């Protein structure tokens, strides 16, 4: 379980200090797929990065499985981070390492014996559908394949939680659906709690059990995904849904026009 308790975050100090997260209170349950939805600059990344302490809260607490982790450091911090995997929009792979050695990197850090690293790395690559890609380099892979490598690497230490920061934002829509399917499978089969950051309504709708809408450093509403989207309360979510519907309408119109033109010829 992940809890944010009166969490605040400011960047800068003194006269330059500005608060970007204001009094966040929220609980994410074990095994959930939880989404943070919001536009650029809303504070999604900052909030999620407090879970593995890439950002420290300025006030309040992050509580994981009942323990306040806001101030952990040294060995305890390293231990905490092995329990939390993370993937990013731009994959963040090591370009000089093969696919297999990207996946086994966290196991090298943990001083696991080589045979065990290789065995586990191969098993993870099979899990993400990349058997046979062990000796390739990231530059030889598609975006979707690179994100699969990053997912396998994030799973190397058998984390309980995986943080996904705009993980599909650099991918086309078909590849996005494939990666979301893989993440769903990891949630169901391995029981990993997923924390999804996205600016995309369709990504949130596709994968999240619950969604928190974030705007200007506040959670403006939170609820079960279908319920929330069927009955939005905040102006920002209403506007997001309206603009998504408009875009769908435009896409349908474009297809219809193309079909009519084809018929006309
Ligand atoms: N390292 C930083 N230093 C100063 N300001 C930052 C830093 N990181 C983010 N911010 C600011 O905090 C706010 C929230 O940013 P961020 O969490 O990245 O939003 P999101 O992920 O929703 O796009 C923005 O105003 C951003 O400019
Ligand atoms: Mg962000």
pLDDT tens readout for residues 146-200: 999 999 999 999 999 999 999 999 999 999 999 999 999 999 999 999 999 999 9
CA–centroid distance for 84 within its chain: 12
Q: pLDDT tens across 97-155, in order?
A: 999 999 999 999 989 999 999 999 999 999 999 999 999 999 999 999 999 999 999 99
Q: pLDDT tens across 61-106, in order?
A: 999 999 999 999 999 999 999 999 999 999 999 999 999 999 999 9
Split at pLDDT 50, 70, 90, the class of 249 is: confident
Split at pLDDT 50, 70, 90, the class of 256 is: confident
Residue with CA nearest ligand 1 atom 6: 11
In a domain, 244, yes or no: no
Residues 164 and 79 in one domain: yes
* Position 265 pLDDT exceeds 80: no
Residue 32's pLDDT is: 98
Residues 20 and 131 in one domain: no
Return the best residue to mutate from 20, 39, 220 for the ligand 1 pocket (most ligand atoms within 8 A of CB): 20
CATH number at residue 49: 3.40.50.300
Residues 51 and 116 in one domain: no
Q: How many domains does the chain have?
A: 2
In a domain, 72, yes or no: yes
* Position 262 pLDDT exceeds 80: no
Residue with CA nearest ligand 1 atom 16: 43
Residues 58 and 168 in one domain: yes
Contacts by 239-243, CB closer than 8 A, 24 or more apart: 240/37, 240/201, 241/201
Split at pLDDT 50, 70, 90, the class of 211 is: very high
In a domain, 240, yes or no: no
- In angstroms, the CA 33 to CA 167 distance is 14
- Cβ 37 under 6 angstroms from ligand 1: no
Q: Domain limits at 122? A: 96-152
Residue 22, CA atoms < 13 Å, CB-side half-sphere: 10
- Cβ 88 under 6 angstroms from ligand 1: no
- Cβ 41 under 6 angstroms from ligand 1: yes
Element (H, E) at 37: strand 33-37
Residues 63 and 7 in one domain: yes
Residues 178 and 60 in one domain: yes
In a domain, 246, yes or no: no
- Cβ 42 under 6 angstroms from ligand 1: yes
Residues 78 and 145 in one domain: no
Return the best residue to mutate from 4, 36, 41, 167 for the ligand 1 pocket (most ligand atoms within 8 A of CB): 41
In a domain, 235, yes or no: no
* Position 248 pLDDT exceeds 90: no
Residues 148 and 163 in one domain: no
Question: Phi and psi (nearest 5°) for 20?
Answer: -110, -15
CA 36 to ligand 1 center in whole angstroms: 15
CA 166 to ligand 2 center in whole angstroms: 7
CA 88 to ligand 2 center in whole angstroms: 9
CA 46 to ligand 1 center in whole angstroms: 6
């Amino acid at each position: 379980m992940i809890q944010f308790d009166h969490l605040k975050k400011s960047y800068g100090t003194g006269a330059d200090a500005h608060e970007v997260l204001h009094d966040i209170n929220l609980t994410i349950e074990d095994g959930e797929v939880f989404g943070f939805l919001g536009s650029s600059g809303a504070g999604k990344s900052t909030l999620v990065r407090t879970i593995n302490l890439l950002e420290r809260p300025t006030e309040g607490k992050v509580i994981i499985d009942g323990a306040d982790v806001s101030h952990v450091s040294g060995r305890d911090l390293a231990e905490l981070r092995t329990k939390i995997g993370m993937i990013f929009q731009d994959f963040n792979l090591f370009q000089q390492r093969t696919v297999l050695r990207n996946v086994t990197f966290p196991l090298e850090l943990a001083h696991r014996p080589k045979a065990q690293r290789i065995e586990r790395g191969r098993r993870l690559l099979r899990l993400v559908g990349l058997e046979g890609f062990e000796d390739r380099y990231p530059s030889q892979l598609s975006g979707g394949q690179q994100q699969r490598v990053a997912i396998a690497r994030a799973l190397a230490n058998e984390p309980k939680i995986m943080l996904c920061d705009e993980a599909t934002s650099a991918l086309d829509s078909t590849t996005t659906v494939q990666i979301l399917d893989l993440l769903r499978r990891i949630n169901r089969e391995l029981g990993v709690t997923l924390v999804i950051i996205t600016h995309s309504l369709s990504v949130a709708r596709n994968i999240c059990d619950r969604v928190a809408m974030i705007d200007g450093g506040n959670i403006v509403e939170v609820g079960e995904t279908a319920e929330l989207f069927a009955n939005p309360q905040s102006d920002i979510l209403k506007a997001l849904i309206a603009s998504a519907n408009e875009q769908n309408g435009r896409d349908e119109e474009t297809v219809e026009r193309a079909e009519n033109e084809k018929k006309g010829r």
